[in-house]
């Protein structure tokens, strides 16, 4: 009996020991994990006071996003917000509300403006782009902070909700009337700020009420990617973003662009201010080193990305397989392979990347030839090797190559009589025409967020 009691005791101790060891195995990785720096609550929002009038600046963390006519914005064939392109931004602050009549008067008391209904908290309008520049210059001198107008990219990123974006069509939702004053609900007049629902960052009236001046000179979009874009270098027109109270819902989605001469001052255009991150060490957040690998889940498939150090560092994905292509595009890749998808057109590849971006809530692009070559040169990814292992394919390749040699030998004689023999393409050489050729595997890239 005593022996049995001892055996049970030992089993109990062993069982408890195993439980403790198991808990330690789970806890150690969590304890060893590097903590991501968190911006203090005191720096998330800055409260600014000017002559007794308060307004709030919301911190927007830097990040990347697809700017322009993405799938969640419009299906119209417009050119002003196309092509959609990748943008990445540094951190900045933007006002939670449009500049109101009372704030305007606090900063520029000698320059009163038209305010027919007399409400002090309606957004200012009848101000030109030049008027806005004078306002931010004075606000800068009063507060000692570098205020300015937001760039067009900053405006759209903030309106979409920044890193917290839920891909709404309007700023805070898919129903325009719940988040902004548009023609259908405004009564054809602007309303006091902050009366509708905010967006994911707590910003109000980025859809409707009044449109807003941006800092940029107007220029058409391009596919090139630059950090912190600030518009065209030259031009006569300045960008205006966000629908107004006189705009129909169909023309109030977030990617819509408009432009006016900078001296234009109408009842439909106002502005909100932005703030460059101050050079105060207490207000800076140390960025942790990016992880070497990342994974993005798309329709149940985990797509693995590897970090590529470069002037603009990025992550490059593994080769996209046919199974994922079929799930996203609802059709087979032309090669009908069971593994790597090949033969897709450039437009299909671009659509695939855009669909994946929307599903995964990440800014994903088709890898360029230069990005693939750079990753190959650093031995981060393996160069693509076409599959020629199948016996029939080998025989077919040899046959074609023999015909090519025969044509080469006969060509000098046929040219004498003015006859040109067609020369068949070598399927192996076709695989290596260019890095952008449709026969190459599809890889996606994801930029490192600043």
The pLDDT tens digits of the residues spanning 75-105 come to 665 667 888 888 989 899 999 999 999 999 9
Q: Tell me, what's the pLDDT at 436?
A: 44
Which tokens belong to 33? 């994990």
Q: Tell me, what's the pLDDT at 434?
A: 40
Residue among 101, 158, 159, 94 at smallest CA distance from 135: 101
> Considering the entire predicted model, what is its pTM?
0.63
Q: Tell me, what's the pLDDT at 250?
A: 80
DSSP result, 251-317: G-STT-EEEE-TT---TTEE---EEEPPS-GGG--PPPPPPSEEEEEETTEEEEEEEE-SSS-EEEE
CA–CA dist 148, 92 (Å, integer):
11
**Cβ within 8 Å of residue 26, ≥6 positions away:** none
Q: Tell me, what's the pLDDT at 245?
A: 92
Which tokens belong to 318? 């593994």
Return the ∠ at Cα 239 (arms to 235 and 243), rounded to 5°. Answer: 155
Q: Tell me, what's the pLDDT at 361?
A: 77
185 membership: H or E segment, kind and range: none
Residue with tokens 């970090």: 307
Interhelix angle for 322-329 vs 346-360, to 10°? 80
CA–CA dist 213, 232 (Å, integer):
15
Q: Tell me, what's the pLDDT at 20?
A: 42
Q: Percent helix, strand and coil across the chain, each rounded to 5?
A: 30, 20, 50
Q: Tell me, what's the pLDDT at 151?
A: 96
Q: Tell me, what's the pLDDT at 310?
A: 84
Q: Tell me, what's the pLDDT at 301?
A: 86
CB 171 within 8 A of CB 179: yes
Q: Is 45 helix (H, G, I), strand (E, B) or coil?
A: strand
CA–CA dist 420, 399 (Å, integer):
20
CA distances from residue 99 to 56, 104, 195, 317, 396 in whole angstroms, order as listed: 11, 7, 14, 44, 71
**Phi, psi of 241, rounded to the nearest 5 degrees:** -125, 160
DSSP result, 120-166: TTSBP-S--HHHHHHHHHHHHHHH-S-EEPPPHHHHHHHHHTGGG--
365 membership: H or E segment, kind and range: strand 365-366
Q: Tell me, what's the pLDDT at 35?
A: 39
Among the CATH numbers 3.40.50.1220, 3.90.1580.10, 3.30.750.24, 3.55.40.20, which is that of 41-283? 3.90.1580.10
Dihedral of CA atoms 52, 109, 135, 40 in degrees, nearest 10, equals: 0
The boundaries of every CATH 3.90.1580.10 domain in the chain are 41-283
Q: Which residues of the chain have pLDDT under 70?
A: 1-42, 75-79, 116-117, 278-289, 335-338, 385-398, 400, 423-439, 449-450
What tens digit of pLDDT does each residue of 112-142 get? 777 766 789 999 999 999 999 999 999 999 9
Q: Tell me, what's the pLDDT at 76?
A: 63
Q: Tell me, what's the pLDDT at 42?
A: 64
CB 367 within 8 A of CB 443: yes
């Amino acid at each position: 009996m005593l022996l049995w009691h001892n055996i049970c005791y030992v089993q109990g101790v062993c069982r408890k020991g195993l439980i403790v060891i198991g808990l330690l195995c789970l806890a150690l990785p969590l304890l060893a994990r590097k903590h991501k720096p968190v911006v203090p609550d005191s720096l998330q929002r800055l409260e600014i006071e000017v002559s007794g009038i308060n307004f709030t600046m919301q911190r927007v963390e830097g990040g990347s996003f697809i700017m322009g006519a993405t799938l969640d914005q419009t299906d119209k064939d417009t050119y002003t917000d196309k092509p959609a392109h990748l943008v990445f931004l540094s951190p900045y602050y933007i006002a939670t509300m449009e500049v109101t009549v009372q704030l305007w008067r606090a900063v520029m008391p000698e320059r009163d403006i038209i305010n027919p209904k007399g409400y002090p908290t309606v957004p200012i309008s009848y101000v030109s782009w030049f008027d806005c520049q004078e306002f931010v210059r004075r606000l800068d001198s009063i507060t000692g902070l570098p205020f300015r107008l937001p760039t067009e990219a900053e405006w759209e990123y903030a309106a979409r909700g920044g890193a917290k974006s839920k891909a709404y069509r309007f700023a805070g939702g898919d129903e325009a009337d719940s988040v902004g004053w548009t023609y259908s609900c405004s009564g054809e007049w602007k309303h006091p700020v902050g009366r509708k629902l905010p967006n994911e960052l707590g910003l109000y009236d980025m859809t409707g009420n009044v449109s807003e001046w941006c800092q940029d000179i107007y220029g058409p979009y391009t596919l090139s990617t630059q950090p912190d874009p600030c518009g065209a270098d030259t031009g006569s027109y300045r960008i205006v973003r966000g629908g107004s109270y006189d705009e129909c819902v169909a023309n109030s989605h977030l990617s819509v662009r408009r432009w006016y001469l900078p001296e234009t001052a109408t009842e439909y255009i106002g502005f909100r201010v932005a703030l460059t991150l101050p050079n105060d060490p207490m207000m800076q957040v140390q960025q942790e080193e990016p992880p070497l690998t990342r994974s993005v889940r798309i329709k149940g498939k985990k797509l693995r990305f590897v970090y590529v150090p470069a002037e603009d560092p990025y992550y490059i994905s593994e080769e996209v397989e046919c199974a994922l292509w079929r799930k996203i595009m609802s059709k087979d890749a032309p090669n009908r392979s069971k593994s790597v998808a090949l033969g897709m057109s450039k437009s299909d590849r671009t659509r695939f990347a855009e669909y994946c971006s929307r599903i995964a809530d990440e800014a994903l692009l088709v890898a360029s030839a230069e990005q693939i070559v750079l990753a190959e040169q650093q031995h981060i990814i393996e160069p693509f090797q076409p599959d020629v292992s199948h016996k029939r394919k080998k025989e077919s390749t040899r046959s074609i190559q023999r015909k090519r040699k025969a044509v080469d030998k006969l060509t000098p004689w046929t040219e004498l009589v003015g006859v040109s023999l067609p020369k068949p393409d070598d399927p192996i050489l076709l695989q290596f025409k260019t890095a952008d050729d449709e026969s190459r595997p599809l890889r996606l890239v994801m930029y490192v967020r600043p």
